[in-house]
Amino acid sequence: MDEIDFQTDYVRDLMALTDYTEFDLDLVREHFIAWEHDKEESITGYRNNSFSSPCTGTIGPTPHTPWWEEMDDSLAKFLQK
């Protein structure tokens, strides 16, 4: 967790020095922590989760097929609902 906090603070410092568009870094931190927990829980299942955008708040769709079972990585298959 210290590494995630360090990275969040570092990006926050960089953003303060630039005109980069602001976004919710605290939400990114929360997502990163959840992602790490999900990865520890299931190394093949963590990719099946979705998160909200730190810029828009829009929640990404979950995959239609579990990552481990999906063998077709074409754009057409990805866009399928």
What pLDDT is stored for residue 81 in this prediction? Answer: 64
- pTM of the entire predicted model: 0.79
Contact 14, 20 (CB under 8 A): yes
Taking the C-alpha atoms of residue 58 and residue 67, their distance in angstroms, rounded to an integer, is 21
What confidence category does residue 64 fall into, taking pLDDT thresholds of 50, 70 and 90?
confident
pLDDT tens, position by position, 13-50: 999 999 999 999 999 999 999 999 999 999 999 999 99
Q: How far apart are CA 53 and CA 62, in angstroms?
A: 13
